[in-house]
Structure 1
Amino acid sequence: MRKIVHIVALLLEVLSVFAQSSFKNGPLKVSDNHRYLVHQDGAPFFYMGDTAWELFHRLNREEADRYLKRRAEQGFTVIQTVALAEFDGLNTPNALGDKPLLNNDPTTPNEAYFKHVDYIVDKAAENNLVIGFLPTWGDKLFKSSWGNGPEIFNPKNARTYGQWLGNRYKNRQNIIWILGGDRTPRDGSEDVATWRAMAEGIEAGVGGADKALMTFHPQPNSIQDGGSSKWFHQDSWLDFNMHQNGHCRDTPVYDKITVSYNRTPTKPTMDAEPIYEDHPVCFNVLVIGFLPTWGDKLFKSSWGNGPEIFNPKNARTYGQWLGNRYKNRQNIIWILGGDRTPRDGSEDVATWRAMAEGIEAGVGGADKALMTFHPQPNSIQDGGSSKWFHQDSWLDFNMHQNGHCRDTPVYDKITVSYNRTPTKPTMDAEPIYEDHPVCFNVKDLGTSNAYDVRLYAYLDLFAGAHGHTYGCHDIWQMYSANRPAVNGPHIYWQEALELPGANQMKIVRRLIESRPLLDRVPDQSLIIENNYAPAERIQATRGTDYAFVYSAAGKPFTVNLGKISGQSVKTHWLNPRTGEAKDSGTIPNKGQQKFTPPSSGYGQDWVLVLDDLAKNYPVP
Structure 2
Amino acid sequence: MNKKHLLVPILLLACALPLAAQRKPDPIEIPWENGRLRVSDNHRYLQHENGKPFFWLGETAWLLPSRSSRDEVNFFMTKTRRNGFNVVQISILHTIPAMNAYGHWALPQGFDFSSIDRSGEYNYWQHVDHVVDSAKRNGIYVAIVCVWGGPVKAGGMTADDAKRYGAFLANRYKDQPNIIWVNGGDVRGDVKPEVWRALAGAIREVDENHLMTFHPLGRTLSATWFNHEPWLDFNMFQSGHRRYGQRFGDGEYPIEEHTEEDNWRFVERSLASPPMKPVLDGEPSYEDIPQGLHDPEERFWQAEDVRRYAYWSVFAGALGHTYGHNSTMQMLRPGVSPAFGAKKPWWEALDDPGCRQMRHLKKLMLAFPSFERIPAQDVIAEENGKQYERVIATRGKDYILAYNYTNRLVKIDLTKIVGEKKKAWWLSPVDGAVEYIGEFDNGTHAFIHDSGYRPGNDRVLIVTDAKADYVRNNLE
Do both share a fold (TM > 0.5)?
yes
**Partner of residue 444 from structure 2, selected from 585, 592, 604:** 592
Contact 1:341 1:376 (8 Å CA) reproduced: yes
Task: Give how far 1:501 is off.
Answer: 0.1
Task: Give how far 1:508 is off.
Answer: 0.8
**Partner of residue 317 from structure 2, selected from 455, 464, 467:** 464
1:297 pairs with 2:297: no
Amino acid of the residue matched to residue 595 of structure 1? Answer: F
Structure 1 unaligned residues grouped into runs of 5+: 1-219, 222-247, 252-279, 301-307
Relative distance call for 1:495 and 1:554 in structure 2 (3 A) is same
Question: 3-state SS of the aligned residue for 2:240?
Answer: coil
Question: 3-state SS of the aligned residue for 1:335?
Answer: strand
**Partner of residue 205 from structure 2, selected from 361, 369, 376:** 361
Q: Deviations for 1:573-603, whole angstroms, at most 9, x for unmatched residues?
A: 0011121110001112x22111112322021
Cα distance in 2 for residues equivalent to 1:537 and 1:529:
12
Task: Give how far 1:342 is off.
Answer: 3.0
Runs in 1 of length 4+ with deviation above 3 angstroms? Answer: 248-251, 280-284, 441-445
Task: Give how far 1:249 is off.
Answer: 9.4
Contact 2:162 2:195 (8 Å CA) reproduced: yes
Cα distance in 2 for residues equivalent to 1:310 and 1:530:
50
Amino acid of the residue matched to residue 332 of structure 1? Answer: I
1:325 pairs with 2:172: yes
Contact 2:296 2:340 (8 Å CA) reproduced: no
TM-score by length of 1: 0.51
Amino acid of the residue matched to residue 293 of structure 1? Answer: V
Question: 3-state SS of the aligned residue for 2:470?
Answer: coil
Amino acid of the residue matched to residue 400 of structure 1? Answer: F
Amino acid of the residue matched to residue 616 of structure 1? Answer: D
Question: 3-state SS of the aligned residue for 2:292?
Answer: helix
Task: Give how far 1:571 is off.
Answer: 0.6
User: Equivalent residues in 2 for 1:266-285 (5 A)?
Assistant: 285=139
Amino acid of the residue matched to residue 331 of structure 1? Answer: N
Contact 1:359 1:369 (8 Å CA) reproduced: no
Contact 2:404 2:460 (8 Å CA) reproduced: yes
Contact 1:438 1:448 (8 Å CA) reproduced: yes
Contact 2:381 2:444 (8 Å CA) reproduced: no
Contact 1:292 1:335 (8 Å CA) reproduced: yes
Task: Give how far 1:354 is off.
Answer: 1.0
Task: Give how far 1:369 is off.
Answer: 2.4
Relative distance call for 1:594 and 1:370 in structure 2 (3 A) is same
Q: Deviations for 1:392-451, whole angstroms, at most 9, x for unmatched residues?
A: 111011111122123411111210101211111001110000000111254563111101
Cα distance in 1 for residues equivalent to 2:228 and 2:138:
29
Task: Give how far 1:250 is off.
Answer: 5.2
Relative distance call for 1:441 and 1:537 in structure 2 (3 A) is farther
Q: Which has the higher contact order (CA 8 A, sep 6+)?
A: 2
Contact 2:410 2:447 (8 Å CA) reproduced: yes
TM-score by length of 2: 0.66
Larger Rg: 1
Contact 1:531 1:537 (8 Å CA) reproduced: yes
Amino acid of the residue matched to residue 593 of structure 1? Answer: H
Amino acid of the residue matched to residue 406 of structure 1? Answer: R
1:509 pairs with 2:362: yes
Question: 3-state SS of the aligned residue for 1:359?
Answer: helix
Cα distance in 2 for residues equivalent to 1:498 and 1:282:
22
Cα distance in 1 for residues equivalent to 2:358 and 2:426:
17
Amino acid of the residue matched to residue 350 of structure 1? Answer: E
1:334 pairs with 2:181: yes
Relative distance call for 1:568 and 1:281 in structure 2 (3 A) is farther
Relative distance call for 1:531 and 1:445 in structure 2 (3 A) is farther
Cα distance in 2 for residues equivalent to 1:532 and 1:470:
25
1:372 pairs with 2:213: yes
Cα distance in 2 for residues equivalent to 1:530 and 1:511:
27
Amino acid of the residue matched to residue 456 of structure 2? Answer: G
Cα distance in 2 for residues equivalent to 1:454 and 1:464:
16
Question: 3-state SS of the aligned residue for 2:385?
Answer: coil
Question: 3-state SS of the aligned residue for 2:201?
Answer: helix
Task: Give how far 1:466 is off.
Answer: 0.7
Cα distance in 2 for residues equivalent to 1:374 and 1:506:
23
Relative distance call for 1:341 and 1:601 in structure 2 (3 A) is same
Structure 2 unaligned residues grouped into runs of 5+: 1-33, 36-47, 52-133, 245-260
**Partner of residue 194 from structure 2, selected from 333, 343, 350:** 350
Contact 2:400 2:464 (8 Å CA) reproduced: yes
Relative distance call for 1:598 and 1:486 in structure 2 (3 A) is same
Cα distance in 2 for residues equivalent to 1:403 and 1:604:
23
Contact 1:284 1:331 (8 Å CA) reproduced: no
CA RMSD between the two structures: 2.3
Task: Give how far 1:530 is off.
Answer: 5.2
1:477 pairs with 2:326: no
Q: Deviations for 1:490-534, whole angstroms, at most 9, x for unmatched residues?
A: 211111110000010011111111111111111111103453222
Cα distance in 1 for residues equivalent to 2:273 and 2:295:
36
Task: Give how far 1:611 is off.
Answer: 1.0
Contact 1:333 1:369 (8 Å CA) reproduced: yes
Task: Give how far 1:452 is off.
Answer: 0.7
Cα distance in 1 for residues equivalent to 2:304 and 2:439:
30
Contact 2:267 2:313 (8 Å CA) reproduced: yes
Question: 3-state SS of the aligned residue for 1:562?
Answer: helix
Cα distance in 2 for residues equivalent to 1:474 and 1:494:
9
Contact 2:423 2:464 (8 Å CA) reproduced: yes
User: Equivalent residues in 2 for 1:99-498 (5 A)?
Assistant: 285-300=139-154, 308-343=155-190, 348-363=192-207, 365=208, 368-378=209-219, 384-407=221-244, 408-440=261-293, 442=295, 445-498=298-351
Relative distance call for 1:529 and 1:500 in structure 2 (3 A) is farther
Question: 3-state SS of the aligned residue for 1:461?
Answer: helix
Cα distance in 1 for residues equivalent to 2:281 and 2:450:
29
1:576 pairs with 2:429: yes
Amino acid of the residue matched to residue 405 of structure 1? Answer: R
Cα distance in 2 for residues equivalent to 1:593 and 1:314:
60
Relative distance call for 1:598 and 1:287 in structure 2 (3 A) is farther
Q: Deviations for 1:284-312, whole angstroms, at most 9, x for unmatched residues?
A: 71010111111112114xxxxxxx32222
Query: Aligned residue pairs: how many?
Result: 329
Amino acid of the residue matched to residue 288 of structure 1? Answer: V
**Partner of residue 558 from structure 1, selected from 411, 414, 417:** 411
Contact 2:218 2:238 (8 Å CA) reproduced: yes
Contact 1:410 1:428 (8 Å CA) reproduced: yes
Contact 2:135 2:142 (8 Å CA) reproduced: no
Cα distance in 1 for residues equivalent to 2:469 and 2:456:
31
Contact 1:530 1:539 (8 Å CA) reproduced: no
> In structure 2, what is the equivalent of residue 61 of structure 1?
none
Amino acid of the residue matched to residue 458 of structure 1? Answer: Y
Contact 2:189 2:226 (8 Å CA) reproduced: no
Contact 1:574 1:606 (8 Å CA) reproduced: yes
